Structure 1
């Protein structure tokens, strides 16, 4: 068995390193030549809360992988959501009908494999552990957190069992009949993370600010309402309990405050203190995954005559931050709070 990691940054790098350390044949693939060279010649360093280790392995750019001209067995697509389809298309010529493709994107992404390839639909993987690509050959790992896998149609298959065995070289993995429930729940949590990235502060600091919590809770409720109209039964994970947020009529302020206190404490203990969204904007100066995470929520709202004003605001403000038209500031959250008080509460 050979596992090919397409996109060997934060998530792909961590999973690939743990799997490779267990003795499984792992091939790393990434568009960054310097990162590839580092893995190939010096190794990939994982800096976690409990341990640090280095693994060496085969590593290629996509062009080098194609020139290698070897059929792929298991393919893990671990790129950012907006690069995933292109990444798959680029190596598609190496995929045969016996290959298994696994999507590690948390957003609403539907990877397409050409029909003539006769490859089974990609497996879905929900990932909630935190990691950051720091520099070539070096990844910060926040520690074990929830991972769940499933077939898109909810069935139980042999390839799911094999995937579970592979991923358990990293840590505990849940096989589920409701992978969409996990992915949609993560989207509602992602809405919160996008809001924390409006400020140049730690996630825990933002979540701890009680004056912003009503707006943040409603922001998350908008995504959960979209899931509801899509008939998705969302699933809790780690410290995230969407059932406390939606349906709105079931909200109890005391429980929500206690829950957000718990989330803030959990975030503060994580080795990764700021979100990948923040890092994309502030450090890597690149686009976030907002078009795949939050923009579809607005489209679902339009289809069902629902207004999601807070989601719309966060999308617009994130795009302004990406373009440099706005700066990270508490003023952004003040604007979100004002919108909530003026448009939602009335």
Structure 2
């Protein structure tokens, strides 16, 4: 049987290890808190909360011995390097190390054990320490796991099998997107909570701290995007919703934060808790991690830099805890005075105002749904004809066969007209290069991600997020449509630009993307 070690038997590590052990696995908990270890060994680990009360027998140690196949690290980020020093002599060859921590420690872990043996993890559930030998499960959620290189292999599957004994597990090929999404949320809430000396409910009730929280979130999201991180939704929150480019965006972000503040009013900053107890905080591994990445890319972060400075002064005892500290953050916020004078009533409907990027995306998706909806409507109309005696005798085609013929002719005509408008509007000529430019313009306006390569007289365009495929899936007619339908559209382009093309791969045919060769 595989041997599993959990370094850090606090709320997250203790519950994870105990639940896995309860399913019969060989699990050892390591912790430096001797009273906690002794209590676990004597009475078992008591876990109560939303899942009820349970005492689980699990081995706990004050010193690591033996060799282990899988190690979960669940210590605060500032102790990661020390934890690795303790673990490495006890890790079997090709043993796996999984981070169950705040911030992004996977890069440090990978530098010691290799990227192939490192698995990142984002935790959506929460728990808290009650006292020695007693932990409390406070909210449900899932694990999201994956490798930094995006590979899905037997090691990821092994960790998934272990963690599903605790909570649902989602496997991703973009773990950094999830890690950054959680990091940004944690960094904004934890830092402003510490500076305002308030829980989340207190932050959003007061105008100054609410505005500071919104503007810090905006700055952090922009850093992630400029660094090249493809942010993922975390716990239903889309990080792009926190970007502020207009007064409407500003009001929307405030509205989202106020709702979050009401739902999680008692959420207290971990940085604030450490400051109150006179301990070193995780600021270097939350906002500090973002700042390090920003500096590497030459990105200016006025607010984040000031926040780190303020919290460092608090750590050193040079600044007292108090709401007045929020003024030092606000003085760097560069927004019109009108915004600061917003009225609470303005926020009531602001939540439904989508960011510009998402409005554009929604419009493109709606166009695909509308087109496919029209085809479905045609099929209903044609059904009356095809099912009649005349239809059976003379037409001899199903309603969907006729609908696909209509769709093909419609798209070819539409493609020809679109191509003519592009050609005239952008003063394009004939030929493969010009047709490729027109196709790229179409993909961009249809909100389809794309890239282009040129080689030996051939231009290759790769596109993703097909509006035709998405539209058919949304109204459940994908199996009825004669895909790929884009061929009809680009046949229209072909007539105008006097060039040829070939579809080499297509998402509608289970390809990872759509690949077109224009020649």
Coarse TM-score class (shorter-chain normalised)? 0.7 to 0.9
Q: Distance in 1 between matches of 2:235 and 2:46?
A: 26
- Residue by residue over 1:1-32, the C-alpha shift from the partner in whole angstroms, topping out at 9 and shown as x without a partner, is 33210111122112122222333332100111
Aligned twin of 2:322: 329
Distance 1:52 1:288, change over 3 A: farther
The answer to whether the 8 Å contact 2:77/2:101 transfers is yes
Q: Distance in 2 between matches of 1:114 and 1:330?
A: 40
Aligned twin of 2:45: 44
Aligned twin of 1:320: 313
Which residue among 203, 206, 214 is the counterpart of 1:206?
203
Q: Distance in 1 between matches of 2:247 and 2:276?
A: 37
Which residue among 166, 171, 196 is the counterpart of 1:170?
166
The answer to whether the 8 Å contact 2:115/2:148 transfers is no
Q: Distance in 2 between matches of 1:315 and 1:101?
A: 30
For residue 124 of structure 1, report the CA deviation from its aligned partner. Answer: 0.6
The answer to whether the 8 Å contact 2:97/2:109 transfers is no
For residue 114 of structure 1, report the CA deviation from its aligned partner. Answer: 7.8
- Residue by residue over 1:305-334, the C-alpha shift from the partner in whole angstroms, topping out at 9 and shown as x without a partner, is 322111112212222222333232111223
* 1:251-270 equivalent positions in 2, closer than 5 A: 252-268=249-265
Answering whether residue 291 of structure 2 is matched by residue 290 of structure 1, we say: no
* 1:1-346 equivalent positions in 2, closer than 5 A: 1-61=2-62, 64-66=63-65, 70-109=66-105, 110-112=107-109, 120-193=116-189, 194-246=191-243, 248=245, 252-268=249-265, 273-283=267-277, 285-341=278-334
For residue 297 of structure 1, report the CA deviation from its aligned partner. Answer: 2.2
State the secondary structure of the residue aligned to 2:72.
strand
The answer to whether the 8 Å contact 1:146/1:237 transfers is no
Worse overlay, 274-283 or 222-231: 274-283
Q: Distance in 1 between matches of 2:240 and 2:224?
A: 12
Q: Distance in 2 between matches of 1:246 and 1:146?
A: 26
Distance 1:128 1:324, change over 3 A: farther
Distance 1:327 1:142, change over 3 A: farther
Aligned twin of 2:490: none
Q: TM-score, normalised by structure 1?
A: 0.87
State the secondary structure of the residue aligned to 1:76.
strand
The answer to whether the 8 Å contact 1:298/1:312 transfers is yes
CA RMSD of aligned residues (A): 2.6
The answer to whether the 8 Å contact 1:208/1:260 transfers is no
- Residue by residue over 1:236-295, the C-alpha shift from the partner in whole angstroms, topping out at 9 and shown as x without a partner, is 111532111137469623432331122113313xxx632322222224x32111112212
The answer to whether the 8 Å contact 1:196/1:207 transfers is no
For residue 230 of structure 1, report the CA deviation from its aligned partner. Answer: 1.8
Flag structure 1 segments of 5+ consecutive residues without an equivalent: none
Higher relative contact order (CA 8 A, sep 6+): 1
Distance 1:34 1:88, change over 3 A: same
- Residue by residue over 1:203-251, the C-alpha shift from the partner in whole angstroms, topping out at 9 and shown as x without a partner, is 2221343443332122122222221122111111115321111374696
Q: Distance in 1 between matches of 2:229 and 2:111?
A: 28
Q: Distance in 2 between matches of 1:206 and 1:307?
A: 25
Worse overlay, 199-208 or 213-222: 199-208
Q: Distance in 2 between matches of 1:123 and 1:222?
A: 28
The answer to whether the 8 Å contact 1:46/1:139 transfers is yes
The answer to whether the 8 Å contact 1:224/1:246 transfers is yes
Flag structure 2 segments of 5+ consecutive residues without an equivalent: 340-519
Larger Rg: 2
Q: Distance in 1 between matches of 2:129 and 2:315?
A: 19
The answer to whether the 8 Å contact 1:82/1:289 transfers is yes
Q: Distance in 2 between matches of 1:273 and 1:236?
A: 20
State the secondary structure of the residue aligned to 2:165.
coil
The answer to whether the 8 Å contact 1:97/1:120 transfers is no
Q: TM-score, normalised by structure 2?
A: 0.60
